[in-house]
């Protein structure tokens, strides 16, 4: 596991959306790596690939509203030695492009990077047809795929650049809403290595994406009640940092997994599998509970569907009660 921040208080000021950080990283990659090319499905202003398109028009491919075709084209470019980043809203990229992701990218294990934006329910008023709450599950089911879900703009920027150096098919999940800044600009990230953000001995709060910040807030709430909560950011959902999870289970004896995703099939399922195989302990899961969300503001939706710090803290108390 990467180094711990210890129990320092986090300010958690709002920063840029992770989709914006993705766009900035692409432009830098374009300048430094001529083999990087970008594909989009008629959403370049929303996915923030427009910056790359403006600076490198000859290396940008507008595929129209045809996500499956875009994936296949990207796989072909990867087979020709390019480093393609194919981007669209996660719900369209994974749902419409799944067969092509499976057949043209996963099966031959080509060097295709797919980046889904507007993930989860924090997309807000656009409603359930555009909310991707299955993408981590779908991407993780593709044999050979690496799956990344960064928590803030720093993590996204660094992990997109790392993804360009990584060889193999890879999915990155980003969001529309502005995300609290957790990391300093000098933080380094390693694919497959979780980051312990807060030390703790009573319970471990494991999270990804927007729920990392909520878990930090939950740890502060629990600390006020005399409960010591460890917080771990799992920015790489696959491959999972099983050593970090096993250590957390053994050392704290209770785990809560939180994600802006269906609890059936997301990070929680993967963590539970690792816990069951290494050191079984009481577990609780915070996420979307077998439903599709309504339309509303991001804050309204996160409140209504139980994805706040208070919900993580309540789950931790339930896990602790079972532990005792």
| Catalytically annotated residues | 67
Specify whether the CB–CB gap between 151 and 206 falls below 8 A. Answer: no
Backbone torsions φ then ψ of 274, nearest 5 degrees? -65, -40
- C-alpha gyration radius of the chain: 19
What is the 8-class DSSP label of residue 132? B
* CA 156 remoteness from chain centre: 9
Give the integer Cα–Cα distance in Å for 285 and 263. Answer: 7
Beta strands 146-148; 236-238: pairing state: antiparallel
> Residue 12 in contact with residue 213, Cβ under 8 Å?
yes
Work out the burial of residue 290: count CB atoms within 10 Å of its CB; fewer than 13 is exposed, 13-18 middle, 19 or more buried: exposed
Q: How far is CA 135 from CA 89, 117, 173, 291, 298, in A?
A: 10, 11, 8, 15, 18
Cα atoms in the Cβ-side hemisphere of radius 13 Å centred on 222: 33
**SS3 assignment, position 113:** strand
Cis-peptide, bond into residue 65, ω within 30° of zero:
no
Angle at which helices 18-32 and 153-165 pack, to 10 degrees?
Answer: 40
Return d(Cα 308, Cα 299) in angstroms, integer: 9
């Amino acid at each position: 596991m990467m180094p711990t921040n210890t129990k320092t208080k986090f300010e958690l000021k709002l920063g840029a959306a992770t989709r914006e950080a993705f766009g900035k990283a692409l432009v830098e990659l374009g300048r430094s790596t001529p083999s990087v090319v970008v594909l989009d499905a008629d959403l370049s202003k929303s996915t923030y690939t427009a910056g790359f398109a403006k600076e490198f028009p000859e290396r940008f491919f507008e595929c129209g509203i045809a996500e499956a075709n875009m994936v296949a084209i990207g796989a072909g470019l990867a087979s020709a030695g390019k480093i393609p980043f194919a981007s669209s809203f996660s719900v369209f990229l994974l749902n419409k492009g799944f067969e092509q992701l499976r057949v043209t990218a996963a099966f031959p294990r080509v060097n295709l990077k797919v980046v889904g934006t507007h993930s989860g329910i924090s997309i807000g008023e656009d409603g359930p047809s555009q909310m991707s709450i299955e993408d981590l599950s779908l991407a993780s089911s593709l044999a050979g795929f690496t799956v990344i879900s960064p928590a803030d703009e720093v993590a996204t920027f660094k992990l997109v650049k790392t993804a360009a150096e990584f060889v193999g098919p890879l999915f990155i999940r980003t969001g529309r809403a502005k995300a609290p800044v957790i990391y300093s600009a000098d933080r380094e990230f390693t694919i497959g290595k979780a980051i312990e953000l807060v030390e703790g001995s009573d319970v471990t709060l494991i999270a990804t994406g927007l729920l990392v910040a909520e878990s930090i807030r939950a740890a502060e709430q629990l600390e006020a009640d005399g409960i010591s909560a460890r917080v771990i950011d799992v920015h790489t959902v696959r491959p999972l940092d099983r050593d970090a999870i096993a250590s957390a289970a053994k050392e704290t004896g209770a785990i809560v997994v939180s994600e802006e995703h269906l609890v059936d099939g997301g990070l929680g399922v993967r963590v539970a599998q690792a816990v069951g195989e290494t050191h079984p302990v009481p577990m609780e899961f915070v996420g979307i509970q077998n439903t599709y969300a309504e339309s509303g503001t991001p804050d309204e939706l996160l409140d209504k569907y139980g994805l706040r710090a208070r919900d993580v803290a309540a789950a931790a108390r339930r896990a602790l009660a079972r532990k005792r």
